[in-house]
Amino acid sequence: EDQVTQSPEALRLQEGESSSLNCSYTVSGLRGLFWYRQDPGKGPEFLFTLYSAGEEKEKERLKATLTKKESFLHITAPKPEDSATYLCAVHPFFTGGGNKLTFGTGTQLKVEL
Amino acid sequence: NAGVTQTPKFRVLKTGQSMTLLCAQDMNHEYMYWYRQDPGMGLRLIHYSVGEGTTAKGEVPDGYNVSRLKKQNFLLGLESAAPSQTSVYFCASSYSKLAGGDTQYFGPGTRLTVL
């Protein structure tokens, strides 16, 4: 069974204090790994897709990396506006069709002044 | 370009009542999905569609029905609402045929409370 585990569940940082969020996964074969940002009361907003081990993608203060067992979302010098829940999802090779994703439960990030 | 829209944004039902949630997308996406999100459970797939006129069951389909009569619309129905269906419902869509076409784009959600 495909599984996605995110850690920590919650993270509190001071502005400018860099850190990383972890997404570990177990799938029969990985077609893609996705990162989303979700603000309270809103729908998930797409951030990155990673397709192969060693791949990295960056957007502003965020950088996502991928290995064969896990992905990291690195946040460099975060600002209060980076506060949100970050969701990780995997697209396994064998889903029975439909490009179905398996989601983790998310990391709730709060960045304080 | 509105992306994925959902109506209504909020709804309160009594046990046993029925309702339909509407999802619309203007990105010409082939695939559409309905999820529910509950605290500590993550997003769970209810039903999905791989094209106009098709539907399929996801992880938690019981108590829900769906229809995709038009490519841009995906409807989620609750025939007899139960308190266990209190949740936030999200619709998503993806375009299957291009590189990166498995990226799902989400709507703003519908918060449903069943009393």
- Provide the pLDDT for residue A98: 77
Peptide bond into A8 cis (omega under 30): yes
Instruction: Assess whether pLDDT exceeds 80 at residue A24.
Output: yes
- Give the model's confidence band at B92: pLDDT under 50 very low, under 70 low, under 90 confident, else very high: very high
- Which comes out higher in pLDDT, residue A98 or A13? A13
pLDDT-derived band at B99, boundaries 50, 70, 90: low
Q: Which of A86, A85, A50, A84 is nearest to A70 (CA)?
A: A50
pLDDT at A81 over 90: yes
On average, the pLDDT of chain B sits at 94
* Pairing status of strand A10-14 against strand A107-112: parallel
Mean predicted confidence (pLDDT) in A53-69:
96
Q: Determine the 3-state secondary structure of A80 from DSSP.
A: helix
Q: Are A58 and A72 in contact (CB under 8 A)?
A: no
Q: Give the distance from residue B24's alpha carbon to the nearest chain A alpha carbon, in angstroms.
A: 14
Inter-residue contact A15 to A81 (CB < 8 Å): no
* pLDDT at B35 exceeding the cut of 90: yes
With an 8 Å Cβ cutoff, the interface of chain B facing chain A consists of: 4, 31, 33, 40-45, 48, 50, 56, 58, 90, 94, 96, 100-109
Confidence (pLDDT) at B102: 83
pLDDT digits (tens, 9 = 90+) for B39-90: 988 899 999 999 999 999 999 999 999 999 999 999 999 999 999 999 999 9
Please confirm whether the linkage preceding B8 is cis (ω < 30° from 0): yes
What backbone torsions phi and psi does residue B54 show, to the nearest 5 degrees?
A: -115, 145
- Best probe of the B interface among A101, A107, A108, by most B CBs < 10 A, is A101
* Positive or negative torsion for Cα B100, A104, A31, B102: negative
Give the mutation candidate from B104, B105, B111 for the A interface (greatest A CB count, under 10 A): B104
> Do residues B100 and B35 lie in contact, with contact meaning Cβ atoms separated by under 8 Å?
no
Q: What is the spatial distance between Cα A55 and Cα A108, in angstroms, rounded to a whole number?
A: 24
What is residue B100's predicted lDDT score, i.e. its pLDDT?
Answer: 66
Q: Which residues of A touch B43 (CB under 8 A)?
A: 44, 87, 89, 103
Residue B79: the pLDDT is 92
DSSP B46: E
Question: What is the predicted pLDDT for the residue at B98?
Answer: 63
Would you say residue A47 has pLDDT above 80?
yes
What is the average per-residue pLDDT within A54-79? 97
% of chain B residues with pLDDT over 90: 88
